[in-house]
């Protein structure tokens, strides 16, 4: 059974997102835990969490993916910015326990001139400071495009972070098709090689979710500009190749394409129809 959905606005709560994704043909969704630029989160609405868990169980939603604000930077040069990332992520993860057993994705960060090795150390230090043994969420490092000083555009960098994390069973990877394309991994013509490399360097068992985006830019551009499915350099067949691959087809897939709900609905319908 294909697990597919898209990014939704969280402003009306979990139960609303559950109904919304089902109404546009999906069975999983992604949402920001708070304003994507950071800032404070609303108080946990326990009634909403329980209503969602009920709805999800009855409507075939077996996993959802939270996304950290993309401005968090656990490897900033500035200690106060690193501290903010740490506190925000811990708060997010504590809230996630009200919808247990799901996924939480974050951008590893930008080392801003400190060098990638310092970045890797600081990201791992942050995770070691906030993960706890009983938590029921899996925290995912997103594969990045390699824009500016972003850490995590090479599989080796992600592996190096995981190597330094103490609670390794709490961490995994979310692969973004636009980002890996822009990072220089040719998933269109050499998917087998890319996945082989991922498996050797990180291990495919660490891969827990996939962001399915076309890219406005060619292989290796290091840009990170998402495009609608079929209108970019990856193409519909390229996206389907990823979604149908025997090693990936069981994973949840999330559209983060430049669309409103009706556009997402059309992309979900297209991919469901073509997926075999």
Supply the residues annotated as catalytic: 37, 67, 70, 107, 142, 176, 179, 211, 224, 226, 256
- Which does residue 211 bind out of Fe ion, Zn ion, none, counting CB within 5 to 8 angstroms by kind? Fe ion
How many whole angstroms separate alpha carbon 3 and alpha carbon 175? 15
Whether 140 contacts 172, CB under 8 Å: yes
Closest CB to Zn ion among residues 20, 224: 224
Question: CB under 5 A: which stretch of 30-38, 115-123, 156-164, 171-179 binds Fe ion?
Answer: 171-179
Q: Map tokens 């997102």 to a residue.
A: 17
Helices (H), 63-115: 79-96
Closest CB to Zn ion among residues 29, 254: 254
Positive or negative CA dihedral for 33, 244, 240, 172? positive
Tell the smallest beta-carbon distance from residue 224 to Fe ion (Å): 9
Give strand pairing partners of 140.
105, 172
Q: Contact with Fe ion (CB under 5 A): which of 211, 238, 239, 267?
A: 211
Q: Could you count the other beta carbons within 10 Å of the beta carbon of residue 274?
A: 13
Q: Contact with Fe ion (CB under 5 A): which of 20, 150, 176, 224?
A: 176
Closest CB to Zn ion among residues 224, 267: 224
- Which does residue 182 bind out of Fe ion, Zn ion, none, counting CB within 5 to 8 angstroms by kind? none
Q: Could you count the other beta carbons within 10 Å of the beta carbon of residue 39?
A: 10
In the shown chain, the binding pattern of residues 69 to 108 toward Fe ion, with x for contact by CB under 5 A and - for none, equals ----------------------------------------
For residue 43, the 8-state DSSP code is: P
Tell the smallest beta-carbon distance from residue 254 to Fe ion (Å): 8
Residues contacting 20, CB < 8 A, separation 6+: 8, 29, 261
Closest CB to Zn ion among residues 178, 251: 178
Burial bucket for residue 166 (CB in 10 Å: 0-12, 13-18, 19+): exposed
Give yes or no for residue 227 binding Fe ion (CB under 5 A).
no
Tell the smallest beta-carbon distance from residue 60 to Fe ion (Å): 24
Residues numbered 124 to 143 that lie near Fe ion (CB under 5 A) are: 142
Q: Map tokens 């500035």 to a residue.
A: 78
CA distance to 38, 73, 78, 170, per residue, from 202 (Å): 29, 22, 29, 15
Helices (H), 131-260: 155-164, 177-183, 191-201, 235-244
Tell the smallest beta-carbon distance from residue 208 to Zn ion (Å): 18
In the shown chain, the binding pattern of residues 201 to 230 toward Zn ion, with x for contact by CB under 5 A and - for none, equals -----------------------x------
Closest CB to Fe ion among residues 48, 224: 224
Residues that bind Zn ion (CB under 5 A): 224
Residues that bind Fe ion (CB under 5 A): 142, 176, 211
């Amino acid at each position: 059974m294909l697990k597919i959905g898209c990014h939704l606005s969280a402003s009306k709560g979990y139960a609303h997102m559950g109904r919304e994704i089902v109404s546009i043909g999906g069975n999983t969704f992604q949402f920001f835990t708070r304003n994507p630029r950071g800032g404070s989160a609303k108080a946990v609405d326990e009634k909403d969490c329980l209503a969602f868990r009920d709805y999800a169980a009855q409507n075939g939603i077996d996993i959802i993916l939270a996304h950290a604000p993309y401005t968090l930077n656990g490897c900033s040069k500035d200690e106060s910015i690193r501290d903010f990332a740490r506190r925000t992520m811990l708060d997010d993860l504590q809230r996630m326990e009200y919808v247990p057993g799901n996924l939480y994705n974050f951008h590893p960060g930008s080392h801003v001139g400190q060098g990638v090795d310092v970045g890797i150390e600081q990201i791992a230090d942050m995770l070691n400071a906030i993960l706890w043994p009983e938590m029921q969420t899996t925290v995912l490092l997103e594969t990045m495009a390699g824009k500016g000083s972003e850490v995590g555009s090479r599989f080796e960098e992600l592996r190096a972070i995981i190597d330094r994390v103490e609670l390794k069973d709490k961490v995994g990877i979310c692969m973004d098709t636009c980002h890996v394309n822009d990072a220089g991994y040719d998933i269109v013509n050499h998917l087998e090689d890319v996945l082989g490399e991922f498996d050797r360097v990180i291990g495919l068992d660490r891969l827990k979710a996939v962001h399915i985006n076309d890219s406005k830019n060619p292989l290796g551009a290091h840009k990170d500009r998402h495009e609608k499915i079929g209108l970019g350099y990856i193409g519909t067949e390229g996206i389907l190749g990823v979604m149908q691959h025997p090693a990936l087809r069981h994973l949840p897939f999330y559209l983060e394409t430049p669309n409103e709900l009706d556009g997402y609905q059309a992309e979900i319908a297209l991919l469901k129809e073509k997926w075999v």
